[in-house]
Amino acid sequence: MTMIRPLHDRVLIRRIEEDEKTAGGIIIPDSAKEKPVQGEVVATGPGARGDDNELIALEVKTGDIVLFGKWAGTEVKLDGEEYVIMKESDIFGIVEKKGAAKKAA
């Protein structure tokens, strides 16, 4: 199996498909679906370099579920599976479960 190791502040993401039905039970055809804007982080680069040449680590890590813009990043196909590679700054946020947020606080 081939894998991509992102460089600098780039992140490799596998899109997470959303439900194919609406809340009312209507099935959405493929032609009407939008690209998912949620995905799982598969790999991350080491981070970006600051003005002082110090390495600034990324906030996202492998396994995080993240939200990003519809047209963010570059799509790549690897071993038949589609991924998106983008800069960490293109990610809007990390999806956290309600119970997990309370434990961290």
Q: Is residue 5 part of a domain?
A: no
The CATH number linked to 36 is: 2.30.33.40
Domain of 86 in residue numbering reads as 10-104
Residues 9-31 pLDDT 10s = 999 999 987 655 545 666 555 54
Number of separate domains in the chain: 1
66 burial type by CB count under 10 A (0-12 exposed, 13-18 middle, 19+ buried):
buried
Average pLDDT over residues 53-74: 92
**Residue 89 falls within a domain, yes or no?**
yes
Q: Is 37 contained in some domain?
A: yes
Tokens for 61?
């890590």
44 within some domain? yes
- Please tell me the predicted confidence (pLDDT) of residue 4: 85
- Give a yes or no: residue 4 inside a domain: no
Residue 2 lies in a domain: no
27 within a domain of the structure (yes/no): yes
Question: What's at 105, amino acid-wise?
Answer: A
What percent of the chain has a predicted confidence (pLDDT) above 90? 50
